[in-house]
Structure 1
């Protein structure tokens, strides 16, 4: 791991979101960097977002904008459920999703299964504002291992909420976006449990989004996509709640605010009753997209999307000094 240093890595850092567009950030320096057997992890210091983590050239999270992702990803499903006492996070090595789950005072246990142990290790050292003490909470159990393999283990462990806080669906991560995997998630949920996941962007990965939703719908009675602009991702981002019983669209702003107060959720930066409805509102182009037939992703079939090329993020790291 590199020592903090001025100079190397300073300049403009680019990320290609697709072959057709992307964005850049100014970076002051590279704070830390590791090449693990699985991936390339960097922590950069940026003037706009503070410390930010990239994996294989793609931005994952930052100190100053992470709540745009983590709060809706976790809280909309958790509050819609109303009484989450046990939760499983697959991925989520930066600790943000675990932090949001542990805000719930009735939460008894959160299990995080992260494939690469260097991700939580680097996040704990360099991004403590993201996890906000979650890694030291005795209710959190961190296991380093394969989340896909864990989901198919016959240990009978069940949860009220499962959060799939994953990298994008290319390479090994594809197997965590299949109809078969979502069926396994359903078997891991307690009655009335909720699954939360991100489903890509309707702007530049619309067909992949539609196929992920179709895949989740093979396993769950209710699937509710919702949408939030995430600054670090440079685009409108989509997430979804899946459940056999919970229907978040039926909950009023007043009821959501009542539940937030009852659950003791303080200092939320984004999520509230009005935002609950705003997140679930679907623009017409998204309604049209989700109304079209889409083929579920199966374990035996490849996901073809040119924007998901593993090299897509790998634009030159420094555009200009």
Structure 2
């Protein structure tokens, strides 16, 4: 792996957290304190204090979420599919140990149960203690059912069905590839009720375009409706892509006025990013992304690798420098 550039001591003190997204591209965030650190059998988890984003979580050297920008990620990931569905009562989050996805789902007044299938108890414990501005008490909501263990095994063995599934996962490299295959998406399809919706992040068209195209091809091999959408996520340092998939529900068929009406009905008038206007804005793909996703792409199957050469070199390339 190529080492990140030592940028020197930042103005104002502290250190630079440098995340190298590829050998040619990356970003930095100034940090002032390492607040907490844990090494579980699965991963390395840190909570850092940053002047710009407040407290932030990183796992295995990659930023996951922060207090001040989490809505850029969680609101489109949760609310676009939930509002498209219109009446989500049973939901499943795979991953999402920071609690942000669960919090947004639990805001729906009709929500009866949210299952959080998280691999690592340490992620939940760290988030519960250090990121209350992200989970906002979701871990103490009696409607939240926490299940620890492998997310794929949970879905494949689950007899219950859900209105909405959220795949709030780490990037699709190494063992995590098993959660991005056609076989896994078929298991998710079986775990959805009729008219159910699924959402996930699908990487970036800027520096992970091939991987993004393969994930979309995998979804299209399973679901009748697949709608990619784009959102800039400040903590990720780039334009990020997500997708909603369903056998029948289509977010493009929902007028902006109806999106706003459903948000008002459910008491979600204080969102910071998602609205009727942004619903269609983020679904409007620019030509270069349309071309990327129109080109032939090999779906991801069990046993495949998604380790692009640039990513293999950049994996885990976030560290503190000039401490």
Which TM class, normalised by the smaller chain length?
A: over 0.9
Distance across 1 between alignment mates of 2:313 and 2:45: 14
Superposed, which structure 2 residues align to 1:122-271 within 5 Å?
122-153=126-157, 155-271=158-274
Q: 1:195·1:243 contact (CA, 8 Å) conserved in 2?
A: yes
Q: State the partner residue of 2:292.
A: 289
C-alpha contact 2:21 2:314 (8 A) present in aligned 1: no
Alpha-carbon distance in structure 2 between the residues aligned to 1:230 and 1:259: 25
State the partner residue of 1:300.
303
**Shift in Å at residue 35 of structure 1?**
1.1
- 1:318 pairs with 2:300: no
CA–CA separation in structure 1 for the residues paired with 2:28 and 2:302: 35
1:255-288 deviation digits (Å, cap 9, x = unpaired):
1101111122232111000000101000000000
Question: Could you list the per-position Cα deviations for residues 147-191 of structure 1 after superposition, in whole angstroms to 9, with x for gaps in the alignment?
Answer: 0111111x4210000000000001211100000000100000000
Give 3-state SS (helix, strand or coil) of 1:200's partner.
Answer: coil
Preserved contact between residue 170 and residue 310 of structure 1 (Cα < 8 Å): no
TM-score by length of 2: 0.94
Q: Of 270, 283, 293, which aligns to 1:280?
A: 283
SS at match of 1:225: strand
Whole-angstrom CA distance in 2 between matches of 1:105 and 1:308: 41
Gaps of 5+ in 1: 1-8
Which of the numbers 119, 122, 125 marks the counterpart of 2:123? 119
SS at match of 1:211: helix
Q: TM-score, normalised by structure 1?
A: 0.95
Mapped pair 1:75 → 2:76 = no
Paired residue total = 311
For the residues of structure 1 that align with 2:26 and 2:255, how far apart are their CA atoms?
A: 37
1:103 to 104, 107, 110: 107
Structure 1 residues 175 and 81: CA distance shift in structure 2, 3 A: same
Aligned residues: CA RMSD:
1.2
Are the counterparts in 2 of residues 10 and 30 from structure 1 also a CA contact under 8 Å?
no
